[in-house]
Each structure stands twice: as structure tokens, then as C-alpha cells.
Chain A
Amino acid sequence: MRGRPLLYTSYETDQALLNTGTKKLLFFLFVVVLLLLPLGIIPGLGFLAADDWMLTLAEVAIVFIAAIGLNILTGLAGQVSLGHAFFMGIGAYTAAILGAPEGPLWGLGLPIWVWLPAAGVLAALVGVLIAPTSFRVRGLYLAIVTLGLVFIGEHLWRNLEFITGGSQAGRVFPPLELKLWKEETPLIDFSNDGTWFGIELSGHAKTFYLMLVFAIVCGILAQNIQRTRAGRAFQSIRDRDIAAEITGVDEFRYKTIAFMLSSFFAGVSGALLASAFVRLTPENFGLPVSVEIIAVVLIGGAGVVSGMAMGSIFVIVLPLIVLNVTEWTTSVATSGEGFFASIADFFVATGNFDSGFISAIPGSSPGLNVFQMNQVLYGLLIIGFIIFEPLGLYGIWIRIRNYWKGWPFTY
């Protein structure tokens, strides 16, 4: 059946994870590129091997894990949740109690294979406790209930100082290293510089590799969950809950499972996030994190795992691009040389009485500083995607794909 890419002759090929040649090729290319990135040998992308970029890409992978969690709950099962940051916090602090080195704050110094699954499992358990509310409270009421969870969680983290270190100092989270038990030297160290197979790698590059592996594993897991009985039950609840009940889907049971799976991924990603960034305060698990994950889900395209990958790359990397562009524009405008200077000067406020969106002198001149610029763009992106492209980046990809599918007879 060569040359007939969409003709499936068996159920297995139809349901395969990568059921078309294009998907196989793209997935393979994507993974290879990501594996080669830290080596800095890909022409044009060499700059990504720099340390701050590596950490950003590791963050992308972690946010991707959180996003597939929320995607199961919101994208598949249709339950609106603003409480994802709360579950990430539970994961992070469980990891801290179990894995962080012993010190003034609680910490048992256990290895990663204990604290990482434990972080996910404890978050999942709390998710199961919360799930009955989603059966009782529906739709947008649920959104505000989960919003309440985030605030209650933040209050807890701020006050449980013997675990979290309080809002000023924060605490140190477990290091990313593989140990058998509490021995001195780890088997594999993911957070310090060193050589692997004769290649010199920075700590951030190693962290990136670790997160990449976790992200791929979780991605495949989530893709498989979609194809199970539970995954189909989620989608039927999302599409019409009463119809689902009538066809024999136990709504209570599957909503609980959806909450459990979603919180599991959130807990794992919270633990990884905290460990990758070493030191975090309770405020790092507040409402903005929930909004960020929702933004990833909506911008990527709700309900699609590959969309989550696109969304997390977009949402996390964009601020860095904006930062670089803004800094470049500001430097061009203040130097006042060259053809671009006059254009840049239009956007940049260089003095107290100059106008422009971006302020070159923080605090004094009108215009937004770089951080505010980022925030505004971020908000506008959420708005823009929801209004113009409700299916997100995945929808854009579908349109591109459909255009080339029929090429040259596209109309």
C-alpha cells in the first residue's frame, strides 16, 4: 500500500502513535535536533548551547510536563482548573522534604528515584481529594474554586517555614543526581559540569538532557493515556457529560482519574522545576504559574500533546527573544548611529520627554521597561490566540499541513 499514506489496513496502524510517515520523520528530526543542541554543532542554532539558553530549554521541557497534565484535565476531560500551580507546589515541597540534604529545614536526603515518584504520587493523592468538588461544582464555578486552592496553597507555603523556608529566603531543593542511596558520590551528576563519554558538558546542558528524557517519556505516556478507555471516557465527558453518563461512562470515577493523572504530572513537573532552579520561594508557585500553564495549553492547542510541546516552547522562549530584541533596540537607539537608529528611536524613550513604548532609563522616562514589555506581549498573545486561532499553534500547523497535502491543487 505504498503511496497511499492515509489508507490503513489494520486497527494497529490506524491507532499507532506515529501513524503517518511525516509524523515519524518530524518526531525523529525533533528528537535528534534536541539531542544535538547542547553540543552546539547545529549550524544556526549553536547559540542555544549557551548556559542560560540551556536552562531555558530545560524549563521548556518541565513546563511541557506540567502542560500535558493540565491538558488531560482541561483539554481532554474539559474540567477548567486554575489550580495547577498548587499541585506543582505540593510536588516541589514533597521532593524537598524527601530529597533535599539534611539541614535547618526538613530534608531526608533520599535519592531521586524516591523523591520524584513520591512528588507525583502525593500530588495525585491530593488531586483525588479535590476531585469530588468537580463532580459537585461545575464549569466556571470550578475555575474559581481551583483559584481558591492556589491562594490557600500559597498561604500554606508561606507559613510552613520549616518546610518552605518562608517567602523571603525560600529553600534549596534536592540536587539532580542519581544515587543508589545516601552515598557521597552520585552515579550520575546532572547539575554540575563534567564530561560524559568524553564530551565536556556544562551542568545546565546535563539538566537539559535529563529534562528532555523526562519530557519525552511523559509525552508518550500522555499520548497513550489518550488512547485508553479512560482517555476516551474523558473526551466523552468533555463533549457532553450527560451523553457520557447515558452511554455508561461513570462520570465521578473518570473525573477523579482525570484529576489524579493531571496532578501527578503537575507534581512531577513541580519537583523537577524546583530542582532545576535550585532555590525557589513560595511565590514561585502562585497564580501566575497557573496562568502560564493555561497559556501553554491554549496557545499550543487544547487536547493535543504535540501542541503542548509547541506551546511550551513558544511561551517560555518568547520572553527571552523579546528581552534580546528590546535590549538590541535600546542600544541602537541610545547609540544613535546608523540607519536603524531613527526607527529604533521611535519605539524607545531615551529621555524624560521622549515618547516610546520601551523605556531606556528605568523608572524615569515614560514607556514600559523590558519586564513590563514582556508581560504586555504575553497578555496580548493570550488574547490574540484565543480570538484569532482558538486551536492554537496546532491549528496553524493543521492549516499548513492541509495546504501542502493538496498542493498544487489547493483552493
Chain B
Amino acid sequence: MTPDILIFAQASASSLDRFLQMLVGGLGIGTIYALLAMGFVIIFKATQVVNFAHGALVALGAFFVAIMAVQYDIPGQWMEGSPAWLTWSLAAMLGITLGGFLGLLLERLFIRPMVGEPLFQIAILTVGLDIVLRTIIDDIAGLDGRPLADPWGVSATKFGNVSITHTQLVQFGVTAFAVAAIALFFRSRTGVAMRATAFDQEAASAQGIKVGRIFGISWFLGAILAGVAGVFASVFPRAAGVSSSTAFVAFGAFPAIILGGLDSVVGAVIGGLIIGIAESAASVYLVQFNDVLGSGFSAIIGYIIMLIVLLVRPYGLFGTEEVRRV
């Protein structure tokens, strides 16, 4: 009797470990989706633009970090003696901010002239932007990719039987900080102005809010969040560097955005985590069904969840229902 129970106990312990490890992996990808979805939703709320170029912003942000941290070593070359994590983080912030300014520039050049045009046309315009930017990234970053040379590398810590890489720990911390910062931002003066603009552009404009500036800020924020996600999508557990495939992480985030509701920041975070954990769970628990489901099923499970949820709740879990009136 006893050995059986022992085996059972061991099996259940290992399956719990497996579950926790799966959860860590799911949060690892889920936080990236959450960051991406948040940026996407901010842009959508403020400007009504569905930004298909978000993937390009992801890759560009990470690419700028690679330039700053690896190629030119700014500001590391003036800060000898300071710890590696500090100089690298500063370089990353610098690179991500550069990405943010690029977002600002894109909005000014391509999106601003389109204010008042049909939303579908603007959405397809961002598809065009995505093609251009991604081709340029492919050319300069190459297929084999550029490493970001983060100071944490492949090191990991074990909690019980569950190992968490240090990059993941940083990632969880940064995501939590970003979510808090965005929540605070929406309480600030500019944030309130952005909410007003999202509610009604003309009315906001009549109240003295510079709607154009709000558009710019939303793209800046969106690009920054995309850049942060891009950095974490191109370091150790996920990839070896920025490459032409970095931008594809955005396609994984679309279900998260829709699941949470296109115009809900809270929904974006929750949707991102759900989709991330679902992907991770599918890759752990559904492997034995590969014959039926096909290999690579975890990559599309997000879309399947999205389809099911949309048929029940057409505006996602937290999206506001569009009031149809004459």
C-alpha cells in the first residue's frame, strides 16, 4: 500500500511542479502580450487607429536597444566602474525612448493626415507601414539577429522545483511597474485629457485639449510599451536577439487585445495574461494530442479562444459595447 501512495504523492508533486513551471512560462509570454496589448489599446482609445504596425514598433524598440547597449555602448562608455545592470538598463531606457520618438514621428507623418478618414483605410495604412518598417529591420538586423547582451544572460533561480530565469523576474517587475505607471498616467492631467479625447474628440477639442498632441502622446506611449515588450521578446528564454522574426510576437498579441476588448486597458492586461498562459498550457499539456491538433497548435490557440469569446461577447471581456443609434 505504502509504495503506491508514495508514487502517487510524487506524481502529484511533479505534476504540480509542471503546472507551476507552465504558469511561469505562461506569465513570461503573457506579460509581453500584456505590454503590447496595453500600448495597442492606448493608441486605439486615443486615435481610433487599429495599429497593425505594432509588430514593427516591437522590433524597432528592441533594435534601438541593441544599437545603444551593444554597438555604441551608450551610456556605458562614460560610466566605468558602475554595475553592468545599471548601464544596461540605462541603455535600454534610452533605446526604448528612441523607439517612442519614432512612434511620435510615424504618427505625425502618416496618421495625422488621415484624421477623419474611414478607420479601415487607416488600419490598412498601418499594414503598409508595417511592411516598410519590417523590411528595413530585416535588412539592418538580419536573419541571425543582433544580441541585446543583457547582463542577466541565462542565469536562473530555483524556487522548489520551479526555475525562473532572472530575465523573467526583471520582466515581471517591469510589467507590474508599467501597468502601475499607466494606471497613474490616466489619473494625471494629460491622462484625463486623453480619456476625454477617447470619449469625444470634438468635445475634448472644445474644452481646450490639444487633440493632436494627445494623438502624439498616445503613439509615444504605445511605441514605448512595444519597445519594452520587444526587449523582453528578444532576450534569453525567448530568443537570442532582435531578428526578422521579433515583429511576429505582435500577431500573438492580437487575440489578447480582442479578448480583453479593443478599448479596455485593464482588459488588455488580463487578456494578455490569459492568452500567454493558454499558449503555455497548450504547449505543455496538449503535446500528446499533436497527431490530432497538429504541431504548433499552441501558436494558434489564442485565436481559437478569441473566436469563441467573441461569439459570446462580441466586444471582448471588458470592451464597451458600441451603442447603435440613428
Contact = CB atoms under 8 A, between A and B. Distances in A.
B173 interface: no
Given A148-B303, A379-B128, A387-B110, A141 B258 contact: yes
B132 A376 contact: yes
Contacts of A295: 124, 128
Contact of B131 (A246, A291, A367): A291
Given A143-B50, A294-B124, A148 B255 contact: yes
Given A144-B257, A368-B139, A390-B121, A294 B127 contact: yes
B132 A379 contact: yes
B251 A151 contact: yes
Nearest to B311: A136
A362 B101 CA distance: 31
Interface stretch (B111-119, B148-156, B226-234): B111-119
Contact of A145 (B119, B129, B295, B307): B307
A72 B139 CA distance: 37
A220 B315 CA distance: 39
Nearest to A294: B124
A155 B297 contact: yes
Interface string A344-381: 00000000000000000000000111001001101111
A381 B131 CA distance: 11
A152 B303 contact: yes
Interface string B121-141: 111110111111001101100
B306 interface: yes
Contacts of A179: none
A155 B125 contact: no
A140 B326 CA distance: 20
Interface string B222-242: 000000000000000000000
Interface string B280-314: 00000000000001111101100110110011001
| A: interface residue count bin | 35 or more
B314 A158 contact: no
A380 to B, nearest CB: 6
B192 to A, nearest CB: 25
Nearest to A159: B294
A399 interface: no
Contact of A291 (B127, B135, B262, B300): B127
Contacts of B123: 80, 140, 143
A137 interface: yes
B254 interface: yes
B80 interface: no
Interface in B51-76: none
Contacts of A372: 135-136, 138-139
A159 B326 contact: no
A124 interface: no
A127 B137 CA distance: 36
B294 A158 contact: yes
B120 A80 contact: yes
Given A145-B258, A294-B124, A382-B124, A375 B296 contact: no
Nearest to A246: B326
B127 A155 contact: no
Contact of A298 (B121, B293, B311): B121
Interface in A119-152: 133, 136-141, 143-145, 147-148, 151-152
A152 B293 CA distance: 11
Interface string A286-310: 0000010011001000000000000
| Interface majority SS (helix, strand, loop, mixed), chain A | helix
Given A294-B124, A379-B132, A145 B310 contact: yes
Contacts of B139: 367-369, 372
A388 B294 CA distance: 45
B278 to A, nearest CB: 14
Given A80-B120, A137-B310, A375 B258 contact: no
Given A242-B326, A372-B138, A379 B306 contact: no
A383 interface: yes
A298 to B, nearest CB: 6
Contacts of A246: 326
Given A372-B135, A382-B128, A148 B121 contact: no
A156 B129 CA distance: 29
Given A133-B310, A137-B310, A383-B125, A151 B262 contact: no
Nearest to A388: B113
A221 interface: no
Nearest to A287: B251
B229 to A, nearest CB: 18
B283 to A, nearest CB: 14
Given A136-B314, A144-B258, A387 B114 contact: yes
A373 B258 CA distance: 33
Contacts of A390: 117, 121
Contact of B254 (A137, A144, A159, A242): A144
B131 A151 contact: no
B322 interface: yes
Nearest to B142: A363
Q: Which residue, of B119, B120, B296, B322, has the highest number of chain A Cβ atoms within 10 A?
A: B120
Contacts of B297: 155
B314 A137 contact: yes
Contacts of A160: 294
B138 A148 contact: no
Nearest to B122: A386
B132 A383 contact: yes
Given A137-B314, A145-B306, A151-B251, 4 more contacts: A140-B262, A160-B294, A295-B128, A372-B136
In order of increasing CB-CB distance, the 9 nearest A-B pairs are: A159-B294, A382-B128, A379-B131, A379-B132, A148-B303, A375-B135, A383-B128, A379-B128, A386-B125
27 contacts: A74-B120, A136-B311, A139-B322, A140-B119, A141-B315, A143-B123, A148-B300, A151-B251, A151-B303, A152-B300, A152-B303, A152-B304, A159-B294, A160-B294, A242-B324, A242-B326, A246-B326, A298-B121, A368-B139, A376-B136, A379-B131, A382-B128, A383-B128, A383-B129, A386-B114, A386-B125, A386-B128
Interface of B: 50, 110, 113-114, 117, 119-125, 127-132, 135-136, 138-139, 251, 254-255, 257-258, 262, 293-297, 299-300, 303-304, 306-307, 310-311, 314-316, 322, 324-326
